[in-house]
Every structure is written in structure tokens, then in C-alpha cells.
Amino acid sequence: MIGQEFIKRTKYRYMVPSDQERKLPQPPLETFLEEGGEVIPLPDSTEGITDLRSLIDSRTSIRNYADAPISLQDLSYLLWCTQGVKEVVGTQATLRTVPSAGARHAIETYLLVNRVQGLQPGLYRYRALEHQLHELTLFQGIADQVQEACLDQWHITGSAVTFIWSATVYRMTWRYGERGYRYLFLDAGHVCQNLYLAAESIGYGVCAIAAFDDDRLNELLFLDGKDEFVLYLATCGVKGRGLE
């Protein structure tokens, strides 16, 4: 079984010296961006404090969203809660709002924007170090293509915004070798849980998605599927009425 072989081959007994131990240069803290596409500064992400227990108690997956847009201010808050950089430690690491193995933070955030005030619909990438958005494509049919790649799950286009998380493999395996693949999936879980709780704190709903056509979704985000690949998504928006 592939799953069992993956767990076996990433046990500590099979680990060889990592590239960090071999004194090879570490990968950048954030993926390099090509020129082109508008860069959008995000507003201050400060929000009020909500009781954590009540958020955990009321958290649930929501697939039905109202047609109302969310504000850029609220999107800024959600991005900061899920990947916000609290401190940059030289060129070695970033300390963020979510835990990550060895502070490697190998998760990148892409957004399918459907209804966000001040943003045109399309695909964007979150630049965590600068707390900015980088426009990737405003192609009119991109939302339908992402929904199709996610096995036609209707809440992709029904959401105000869909978070798409990718793994930049070498940023993690540089330190941990093959075992680092385990940590990529763990880190994505930390990020998504923060989105659930942060969204609940401002009255929005979230639904995590793990069913998608890997190759097609990677293609839509211009990812090679090897050095960087999509591993998790979540829709988000104003809670609608009816079935969830």
C-alpha cells in the first residue's frame, strides 16, 4: 500500500543527512514572484478579541454562503491569522501566527477571489512577508475552472473567497529530508484550523476541501506539481441560510 510505504520510508531510521546538515544554502523564506500583475497592500489586520471556547464550540463546516461580499479588511485579518508573519529572524526563519516544523513555514497561500470588496475576481497569491496580495490572473472563467478541478463542488464559486494552500517542498526537506513531507500536511492542518476559528470570530463560514484533481489544480496555479503542489483548500464567506 502506498500510504503504508510512505509512513515506513519517512521513519527516522531511514533518514540521511539533510541539506542543512550538509551546509547547503537554505531556500528563500518566500517563493520568488515573477514581474507583472498588480501588487495590493492589505489593510491593518487588527481585530477584536473573542472567547476561544465559544469559537471552538460554534465552529462547523459551512458550504452555503450568502451573495454578500466580504471586506478587504476582513480578508486581511483572515490572511494574518492563517499565515501572518510576526517576526523575521534574519534570513533563517519567520515566526508566524501558526506553528510549523522548525519554523520552516513551507505553505504558500493562493486565493480564488469571487466577492471581496476592492478586489477584482480572480486568482491572487498572498505575500506573507509584505502582507500584500499579488494578482495572478483575472481571467473571467478561472472560478469555474477551479470548481471543475475540485470535482465540481458548488461552494467553490458560491464562496466569497477560496483559500488554496500549496507546499513548497524544499523549504521543508532542506532541514528534514524525506520526513519533511509528513510535516507539510501537518502544517496545512494548522493553517486551516486557524482559518476556521478566525472566520468564526467575525461571523463567516468555512469548509475545508481535500478532494480535487491534483494535476489540473496545479496547472491552474502554474505549479509544477513536484517542487510545489496544492495540498488543501477551504471556502469562506458570509453564512447563508438553508442546508450547510
Domain boundaries, the chain: 44-238
Q: Residue 47: what pLDDT?
A: 62
C-alpha cell at 139: 481571467
Q: Given this structure, which CATH class describes domain 44-238?
A: alpha beta
Pair 116, 70: CB distance under 8 Å: yes
Q: Residue 173: what pLDDT?
A: 96
Among 228, 237, 21, which Cα is nearest to 109's?
228
Q: Residue 1: what pLDDT?
A: 85
Burial of 185 (0-12, 13-18, 19+ CB in 10 A): exposed
Phi then psi for residue 70, to 5 deg, are -105, 160
110-128 confidence digits (pLDDT tens): 999 999 999 999 999 999 9
Neighbours of 30 (CB within 10 A): 19
Q: Residue 53: what pLDDT?
A: 86
Q: What is the largest CA-CA distance in the chain?
A: 56
The ranges of the chain with pLDDT < 70 are 35, 46-49, 241-244
Q: Residue 243: what pLDDT?
A: 47
